[in-house]
Amino acid sequence: MRRSKFTHHSSVRTVSRYRLLRITLMITAICAAATGTSYLMRLCSVPVVSVTDERAGGDTLNVAIELSPMTLSTASDSLDGFGYEILMEIARAHNVPVKINAFSSLPDALSKLTSGRYDMVVSDMPVTASLKERYGFTMPVYRDKQVLVQMTDSAGNVAVRSQQELGGKDVWAAAGTPVVSRLHTLGREIGDTIHVHEDTEHTEEQLLISVVLGDIPRAAAGQFVAQRMAADYPQLDTSVDLSFSQLKGWTINKEDSVLLDSMNIWISDFVNSKRYKELVSKYVENK
């Protein structure tokens, strides 16, 4: 397995630290301005201690959320994201205090989940049989699939038009994500080697920015993340599928059966609600 050796544009190297600070300031500003605004007051009715990397105390649910267009985003100068909004709705409905820990490294977040620093990880990670042996997963929150992301040329053409054309090609993927093993499996399926560069420093979203900047030729990512990025960068192509649809749930320590049972009940109730359909329309259908 190859480790990434490319040099990122400076805007990509600094994005994580900058966005973590933005999120911290945004939570303070949003809640300070909430008076008289029903939606903002609803969001702030659940205590959010801070966006940090510290252990939460008491009954506070310590949640790590991935910085991604689908989970936690600040792209519109306000906190949003499919996972973030679902979490806040559930926490408010059941009066559960939440502490948000924004992260960009999935392996690091899962390590802290295992050690007990985090109670739950909200990310774009699919539920697979191998991962279920190591972690507890809630019932599915949505379905997604993995796609190849590359730039089109001036005529609208792409270098890789199908899975079979990936043989001998270089593909970047965020370290520790299931798409890495999927790429190796796909290489065996097509009978050729796919050179997988497992990046240990950047999220899927940051890798897609690197594709736009021309730092790397292509990357693998979840379809929803990729298509939301393509809405801002129309020259990004996401037409080559790398997997079938996969279930996406939230990750909990396997030993914490009480939290897992509670979250499954709460998520089950919420996905049948009108508000869930509104969020699906906002984040999934209107990509």
Do both 18 and 135 map to the same domain? yes
Do both 127 and 22 map to the same domain? yes
Answer with the one of 210, 226, 243 that is the final residue of a domain.
243
Distance between CA atoms of 117 and 105, rounded to whole angstroms?
A: 15
Do both 185 and 215 map to the same domain? yes
Find all residues with CB under 8 Å of 66, minimum gap 6, and list them.
Answer: 72, 83, 102, 103, 104, 106, 109, 121, 122, 123, 124, 203
How many domains would you assign to the chain?
2
Q: Are 75 and 65 in contact (CB under 8 A)?
A: no
In a domain, 4, yes or no: no
In a domain, 236, yes or no: yes
Do both 176 and 189 map to the same domain? yes
Which domain covers residue 193, as residue numbers? 146-243
Do both 71 and 191 map to the same domain? no
Do both 194 and 265 map to the same domain? no
Q: Which residue has the tokens 């970047």?
A: 172
In a domain, 9, yes or no: no
Distance between CA atoms of 45 and 144, rounded to whole angstroms?
A: 31
In a domain, 194, yes or no: yes
CATH number, residue 186? 3.40.190.10
* 82-93 and 257-271 helices, crossing angle to 10°: 100
Distance between CA atoms of 25 and 233, rounded to whole angstroms?
A: 27
Rounded to 10 degrees, the C-alpha dihedral 89/284/11/234 comes to -160
* 204-213 and 15-32 helices, crossing angle to 10°: 120
Do both 45 and 124 map to the same domain? yes
Give me the tens of pLDDT residue by residue for the chain, a chain 287 residues long.
444 333 444 444 434 444 444 444 444 343 444 444 444 444 444 444 444 445 555 578 999 998 887 888 876 667 788 999 999 999 999 999 999 999 888 889 999 999 999 999 999 888 888 889 999 999 999 888 899 999 999 999 999 999 999 999 999 998 878 788 889 999 999 999 999 999 988 888 889 999 999 999 999 998 888 888 898 899 999 999 998 877 889 999 999 999 999 999 999 999 999 999 999 888 876 65
Do both 28 and 134 map to the same domain? yes
Model pTM score: 0.65
In a domain, 198, yes or no: yes
Distance between CA atoms of 138 and 246, rounded to whole angstroms?
A: 14
**For position 127, what pLDDT does the model report?**
85
Do both 43 and 20 map to the same domain? yes
Distance between CA atoms of 129 and 134, rounded to whole angstroms?
A: 9
Which helix H or strand E contains 62, and what residues bound it? Answer: strand 61-66
**For position 20, what pLDDT does the model report?**
46
In a domain, 8, yes or no: no
Do both 137 and 273 map to the same domain? yes
Do both 257 and 120 map to the same domain? yes
In a domain, 2, yes or no: no
Closest CA to 78 of 284, 286, 278, 282: 282
Do both 30 and 54 map to the same domain? yes
Q: Are 120 and 64 in contact (CB under 8 A)?
A: yes
In a domain, 238, yes or no: yes
